[in-house]
Structure 1
Amino acid sequence: MILGIGIDLCDARRIEKSLEKAGFANYVYAPAEQTLLEGLSAKRRAETAAANFAAKEAFLKAAGTGLGGFALAELALLRAENGAPYFELSGKAAAWVAQRGLTVHVSLTHENGLANAIVVLEEHRPKGE
């Protein structure tokens, strides 16, 4: 059963400028995400940071919590070996997802300086409920 769907669009130039501000990266991105971003070229870093930011906002929309629901750094968006994005949740966000028995699906795309993310929260219920 689908618990929630969220979508967000983010301008990579805006995130690129924000990354220059002291504290922004630590507020928004988990250490593992920061490591991912540091290993990219400037253009790819801005696009990836924007896609990750969009995914975090899409997650909050799908959860129905808004921006105050969870700390953004609790919603780490990483990449599998094949490049597929996935969330690595921590803190209240991880507890919230586990308590509800959710699977988090995420899809990202970016082009011409814009990054888009879609998040689907899937709830698993035992058969017969």
Structure 2
Amino acid sequence: MIYGIGNDICDIRRIRASLDRHGERFAARILCEAELTVWRARSQRWPERGVRYLATRFSAKEAFSKAIGLGMVMPMTWRACEIVNLPSGQPAVRLHGPLAQWFGERGLRCHISLSDESDYAASFCVVEKMNEIGL
């Protein structure tokens, strides 16, 4: 059963402007430690790729927060929600701390899709409530 659906579109130019104004402090506010490591590596090799990485993560976390119905209100925080790539390349959500507990207590699971093109990053998220037989 669908628990919630969220989508988000993010203007990459806005993310770039925030990075220009606030530097790494802005990225550190949005990304957890593992994501920051990836962002730094991508930014070092090709700065534009780092901006796109940050924009897709920003968009995905926004879409996720909408799908669970919390927005950016505790236990949902930027850094408690990590966007990872499975070995297949498929994006997935990994949760930490109180948000992971909140999500687990409700028997939820998440599907997320991200995309970026020129000036925009977009994400779509579906959160399901698993039934008693494990869906």
Q: TM-score, length-normalised on structure 2?
A: 0.87
Contact 2:63 2:123 in 1 (8 A): yes
Separation of aligned partners in 2, 1:101 and 1:126: 9
Separation of aligned partners in 2, 1:19 and 1:80: 27
Aligned partner of residue 39 in structure 1, secondary structure: helix
Taking the TM superposition and a 5 Å limit, the aligned residue runs for 1:1-129 are 1-20=1-20, 21=22, 23-40=25-42, 41-69=46-74, 70-127=76-133
- Gap runs ≥5 in structure 2: none
Deviation (angstroms), 1:33: 0.6
Q: TM-score, length-normalised on structure 1?
A: 0.90
Aligned partner of residue 132 in structure 2, secondary structure: coil
- Gap runs ≥5 in structure 1: none
Q: Deviations over 1:5-28 (max 9, x none)?
A: 000000112112223415222221
CA RMSD of aligned residues (A): 1.4
Query: How many residue pairs align between the two structures?
Result: 127
Following TM superposition, where does structure 1 have runs of at least 4 consecutive aligned residues deviating by more than 6 angstroms?
none
Deviation (angstroms), 1:82: 2.7
Aligned partner of residue 32 in structure 1, secondary structure: helix
Contact 1:36 1:78 in 2 (8 A): no
